[in-house]
């Protein structure tokens, strides 16, 4: 069977267009973080809100206990981040802060109630189908009810809330609006009776309208139809397109004008999370500044109160810096102690070897005196001198004498020419004697022959 190679992948030659500087500046981006200890459900809510703000949000942002708001502000300009959502919790309530970077303001909302995306989908009879393309585009933002009059709300605070919420998601570009790319919707609805803001998150499902059910199934592109048991396609169309049941009438989508001039059915499925927010405080700057509105404290702060707040903030920063310096100093002391113990151990081992008359341990990089070795080509270090090769025989003399005399080392005088040049005197003499005995035996054999 012939060998089958891998399927060649098609390479796209089209270059992806990078967004312009104007688009980057006008597109709001955000961090969604938590502060302090919060419950597991609040952690799930943080992750759900990151998915709502996708793709203009850091969905895989990793946090540590030492992170503070100044750390996120330091990197916000590099990543073009314009807002920070910060969740915190107390024994009584959960809170959400919306911070506008880099100069504020900061709005603090009390989270009266919330439901995570998992809870919302678990309560649905028919769950919507979501894929990776659903979160590739930012959701359409819907602001509703903020123009209504309320006896409980402050007009200035309500207007400030509407403007802040309007800026967290990118606006709709009407001239370049593409209807097919819209997959989600985010709703901020104001309730004048309770003076709260209700947040809902929906997925948008579009389908053709005015078609029979069988024809609508034929026009689906994301599913493959099984028509093997049908003799004619008309049987499939007529069998599934006769009228509608009561359930289908209840789930009938809303009609909306299409871009091509016809009509299209639009259906919304809630995918969560749900939030019920109530504005508690609005202040200038990033978490510190003049309080513009407070729900429970109507009296404006005095100059003394503001100075005390700034002094408290400075004390917090000083205590945090002191804590960090102590941690660094503790680490340095631990490293110094470990180094001292290692040196003491080496010194004790050296003294023990000297006491027992053993050779001292070779230190790294040490060489024998008078024999520095040759320079290494690559690393610049020194290697030991190469060993002298011992010849198989002497420079001169007989064959047998060379084999015997060549094994020894010369220690002053050279060997005889009959024995080997480099061997000792005794060794060369014995070699020549063995050579004479061999010659005598050879001559005797010649005479007998």
pLDDT in the model for residue 171: 87
Average pLDDT across the chain, whole number: 76
pLDDT in the model for residue 213: 66
* Rg of the chain on CA atoms, in Å: 44
Task: Read off the pLDDT of each residue in 272-288 and give the average, rounded to a whole number.
Answer: 91
pLDDT in the model for residue 310: 85
pTM tops 0.75: no
- Give yes or no for a cis peptide into 419 (omega within 30° of 0): no
62-71, 318-327, 350-359, 388-397: the lowest-pLDDT one: 388-397
Residue 186 has pLDDT above 90, yes or no: yes
**Topology classification of domain 21-172+179-204+270-301:** Rossmann fold (3.40.50)
pLDDT in the model for residue 395: 45
pLDDT tens track for 114-166: 999 999 988 888 777 787 788 888 999 999 989 888 887 888 889 999 999 99
pLDDT in the model for residue 17: 52
pLDDT in the model for residue 278: 94
Contact 236, 230 (CB under 8 A): yes
pLDDT in the model for residue 285: 85
Question: CA-CA distance, 153 to 175, in Å (whole number)?
Answer: 36
What percentage of residues in the chain have a pLDDT greater than 90? Answer: 29
């Amino acid at each position: 069977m012939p060998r089958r190679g891998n399927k060649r992948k098609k390479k796209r030659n089209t270059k992806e267009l990078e967004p312009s500087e104007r688009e980057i500046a006008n597109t709001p981006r955000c961090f969604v973080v938590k502060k302090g200890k919060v419950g597991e459900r609040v952690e799930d809510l943080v992750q759900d809100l990151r998915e709502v703000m996708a793709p203009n949000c850091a969905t895989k942002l990793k946090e540590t206990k030492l992170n503070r708001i100044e750390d996120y502000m330091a990197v916000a300009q590099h990543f073009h981040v314009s807002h920070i959502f910060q969740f915190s919790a107390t024994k009584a309530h959960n809170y959400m802060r919306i911070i506008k970077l880099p100069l504020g303001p900061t709005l603090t909302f009390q989270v009266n109630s919330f439901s995570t995306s998992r809870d919302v989908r678990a309560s649905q009879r028919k769950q919507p189908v979501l894929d990776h393309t659903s979160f590739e585009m930012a959701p359409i933002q819907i602001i509703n009810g903020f123009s209504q009059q309320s006896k409980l709300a402050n007009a200035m605070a309500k207007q400030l809330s509407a403007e802040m919420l309007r800026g967290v998601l990118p606006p709709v570009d009407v001239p370049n609006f593409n209807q097919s790319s819209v997959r989600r919707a985010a709703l901020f609805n104001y309730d004048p009776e309770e003076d709260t803001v209700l947040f809902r998150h929906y997925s948008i499902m579009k389908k053709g309208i005015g078609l029979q059910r069988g024809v609508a199934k034929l026009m689906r592109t994301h599913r493959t139809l099984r028509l093997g048991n049908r003799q004619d396609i008309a049987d499939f169309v007529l069998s599934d397109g006769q009228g509608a049941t009561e359930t289908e009438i209840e789930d009938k989508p809303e009609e909306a004008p299409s871009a091509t001039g016809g009509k299209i059915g639009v259906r919304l499925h809630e995918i969560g999370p749900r939030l019920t927010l109530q504005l508690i405080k609005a202040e200038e700057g990033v978490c510190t500044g003049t309080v513009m509105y407070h729900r429970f404290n109507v009296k404006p702060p005095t100059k003394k109160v503001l100075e005390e707040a700034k002094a408290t903030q400075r004390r917090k920063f000083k205590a945090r810096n002191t804590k960090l310096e102590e941690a660094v100093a503790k680490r340095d002391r631990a490293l110094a102690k470990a180094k001292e113990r290692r040196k003491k151990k080496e010194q004790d081992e050296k003294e023990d070897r000297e006491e027992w008359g053993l050779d001292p341990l070779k230190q790294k990089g040490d060489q024998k005196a008078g024999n520095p070795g040759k320079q290494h080509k690559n690393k610049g270090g020194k290697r030991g001198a190469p060993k002298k090769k011992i010849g198989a025989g002497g420079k001169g003399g007989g064959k047998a004498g060379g084999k015997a005399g060549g094994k020894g080392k010369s220690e002053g005088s050279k060997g005889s020419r009959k024995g080997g040049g480099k061997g000792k005197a005794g060794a060369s003499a014995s070699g020549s004697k063995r050579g004479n005995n061999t010659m005598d035996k050879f001559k005797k054999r010649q005479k007998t022959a």
